[in-house]
Structure 1
């Protein structure tokens, strides 16, 4: 151990002498770099600090601004309901008889007057013949009563018959007159029953329901067919009372119907029910739509919007863009790299308060629409990409 220390001692001294200058040179170089950085920082900071805060440009992103352009504003009320035919006829039996023919089925198009069914007319014809015979007998009795009355009148003038006989003859004549009139009415009813044995469609349309079959004996007023006209349909929509006040007949409604994708159907409000539905407090509103192609069917669900108000060429902003001070309403507009105060007049709210229509802005104005309380007129701004 002692020999090794002795051997290394002389060699270590020259190495220490070489390392010392190197360490000194490195320390000086590091100090010079630090001095340069500090000097550069001290040279820039006073210039930046000398810029007043009010002159520093506020950076605004495009989402905080709106380029003004005239637009169409519409106020809408949401509507939904089921499609119903405008005209629907329930065909019922007018006679008590047996059906012998039913030539139509559900879904078949029919014209007004087209035969839907036929009844057996044997019994109906027999009843008519009976009424006609009774009528002929009554007419013969009326002729006899008239002759008897005339004879009694002539004899009474000669004072051959009593006043009582004359009154009796007159009464018999009038009774026979009433009997003839009653039998004539019965004959008319029998003829009508014979005509009603042929059941015809009362309207142009489509057979929606067939409730009878050949061979059935029906009573009077029995349900037979339902015929609907789909050329015009209506939607019955239940609207909350708060929205009904803004609706009126004639307003345009745009509807979409399940099963038709993005196809729009245009209609108009035809009527508004004066009574609210019990339990819901909603008021039925009836919308009429033309359906010339027959695409819409009863029972389909439709939903859309009624245009209750509309204006063209308007300027509108979110409510947060309109500011207020002692001088009134105004909007901040970016022009020439600075914010300007632009006085405006608020004309009304649209889209349930999401937009306000204003007067005082021009096409192309760049309005600040973001809620930036610290931004004031005269400030320098810079629009940057987000």
Structure 2
């Protein structure tokens, strides 16, 4: 391609660019004039609720974000393992010493108390029986109708029955305490 052809091409390109620029400016001016001639949109009327004038105190409420933490908190734990039947207090309630916070299922503890009462009664009956046998054996021993070994064995059985009765009575008291923990 020759040098003159290049110059002609460059001139044609510049003329096209200038023509497009002038045309764009004219179109923008024309659109601005059209927009200026259009009246602004009418704002709709706002609905306002009114109230009669009253005198009184105004409640000033404000909203804040924050975290509430208890000033004093405590751990609650049970003395025994049982199913929870009800919780008569709600989270956040103030609880003082002695207030009922949970009711536990007491069926196991009640059955244990009944069983131990029956065992104590049986042990008491056995002890009365062994005391009677010991007294009879003591009379026989004093009249030389029984050996010392048999009397000692009878005394040992009576002492074992007394110990068993004391142990069962202690277990019954402990079971009663456990039963009281369910309320």
TM-based fold match above 0.5: yes
Note the alpha carbon deviations across 1:104-136, whole angstroms, 9 max, x for none. Answer: 233211222110000112222111101111111
Find out whether 1:93 has 2:78 as its counterpart.
yes
What is the TM-score when the length of structure 1 is the normalising length? 0.28
Find out whether 1:137 has 2:137 as its counterpart.
no
Find out whether 1:154 has 2:121 as its counterpart.
no
> Following TM superposition, by how much is the alpha carbon of 1:84 offset from its aligned partner in structure 2, in angstroms?
7.0
The aligned residue for residue 32 of structure 2 is none
Q: Which structure shows the higher strand fraction?
A: 1
Mapping 1:268-279, distance limit 5 Å = none
The aligned residue for residue 165 of structure 1 is 150
What is the TM-score when the length of structure 2 is the normalising length? 0.58
| 3-state SS, counterpart of residue 75 of structure 2 | strand
Cα distance in 2 for residues equivalent to 1:148 and 1:172: 10
| 3-state SS, counterpart of residue 147 of structure 1 | helix
> Following TM superposition, by how much is the alpha carbon of 1:155 offset from its aligned partner in structure 2, in angstroms?
1.1
Note the alpha carbon deviations across 1:324-374, whole angstroms, 9 max, x for none. Answer: xxxxxxxxxxxxxxxxxxxxxxxxxxxxxxxxxxxxxxxxxxxxxxxxxxx
1:125 to 98, 103, 110: 110
Cα distance in 2 for residues equivalent to 1:128 and 1:180: 15
Can you give the 5+ residue segments of structure 2 that lack an aligned partner in the other structure? 1-69
The aligned residue for residue 100 of structure 2 is 115
| 3-state SS, counterpart of residue 170 of structure 2 | helix
Mapping 1:1-386, distance limit 5 Å = 85=72, 89-198=74-183
Taking only aligned residues, the RMSD between alpha carbons, in angstroms, comes to: 1.7
Tell me how many residue pairs correspond in the alignment. 114
| 3-state SS, counterpart of residue 79 of structure 2 | coil
Q: Which structure shows the higher helix fraction?
A: 2
Note the alpha carbon deviations across 1:169-188, whole angstroms, 9 max, x for none. Answer: 10000000000011111111
Cα distance in 2 for residues equivalent to 1:146 and 1:183: 18
Cα distance in 2 for residues equivalent to 1:139 and 1:197: 29
| 3-state SS, counterpart of residue 90 of structure 2 | coil
Cα distance in 1 for residues equivalent to 2:117 and 2:173: 10
> Following TM superposition, by how much is the alpha carbon of 1:193 offset from its aligned partner in structure 2, in angstroms?
1.3
Higher relative contact order (CA 8 A, sep 6+): 1
> Following TM superposition, by how much is the alpha carbon of 1:89 offset from its aligned partner in structure 2, in angstroms?
4.4
